[in-house]
Amino acid sequence: MKDSFATAFPIAFPILFVGVWLFVSILIGLGSGWFALAKRYPNRDEPVLLSLDGQSGVMGPWGLGLNHILTLGACRSGLRVEVWRIFAPFCRAFFVPWPEIGVRPTQIFLRPYARLGFGRPEAGVLSVNRRTWERLAGAASQAAGSAVAETLPPLPPGQLRRIYVLEWLAITAIATTFFYLAPRLAHPGGAHFPLTVCIAFPAIVFGVITLIRYVAQLPPPT
């Protein structure tokens, strides 16, 4: 039995891997509404003004998360949306004209996002980081000499800071609970870190990370 498994595994594993990869690729195209958008908004051969690679977004009626696999390009007449083909080989790039994009603010896991509605009436949706959208819309409008893409209303004073403070507190609380309880449950009689260390370590580490991400979201000085 073991010999037959060892013989079949080198053949079966690549087939299984390719099958899962194709299934996930099709799932991305269907679950995100990508196939329909690519058909409605075919890509255009237009120079890109600003290209942002490795972007994340939440797309489609299922709220499918596309983490760090999107490339968003601002052109004079519209927005080009691409996905890394290694993750979705059947998802062609599509190009949505600026007048066809409706924008409104939203929040996902406390973070400020821009919800992009494609089409009027709406045929698809993609939510991206708010700062990402501001950069794309700003690049297109600057090149055109006027506003060609919808902008978002400014965040109320202090809202962005409160969002990141709450996120830092939540992550610190979860990490503290883990560092304090996990060793005590695994080795009740052993030596353990004191509570102050369990709090201070994640608070400092995640505080630095959160501060860097917060600064990256601030609008450029005018």
Which comes out higher in pLDDT, residue 9 or 160? 160
CA distances from 207 to 110, 162, 170 (A): 16, 13, 11
Q: Which pLDDT belongs to residue 39?
A: 92
Q: Which pLDDT belongs to residue 37?
A: 93
Q: Which pLDDT belongs to residue 17?
A: 59
Which comes out higher in pLDDT, residue 187 or 178? 178
Q: Which pLDDT belongs to residue 2?
A: 47
Is the backbone peptide bond immediately before 220 cis, with ω within 30 degrees of 0?
Answer: no
Per-residue pLDDT band for 79 (boundaries 50, 70, 90) equals very high
| Amino acid (1-letter code) at residue 87 | F
Could you read off the pLDDT of 109-165 as tens digits, one per residue? 778 899 999 998 888 999 999 999 999 999 998 888 777 888 888 877 788 888 889
Average pLDDT on 44-70 reads 90
Domains and CATH numbers, the chain: 29-144 (2.30.29.30), 159-217 (no CATH)
Q: What percent of the chain stands above pLDDT 90?
A: 44
* pTM attached to this predicted model: 0.76
The answer on pLDDT for 13 being more than 60 is: no
Per-residue pLDDT band for 3 (boundaries 50, 70, 90) equals low
Q: How far apart are alpha carbons 118 and 121 in whole angstroms?
A: 8
Among residues 221, 59, 37, 197, which one has the least CA distance to residue 128?
59
The answer on pLDDT for 88 being more than 80 is: no
CA gyration radius, the chain: 23
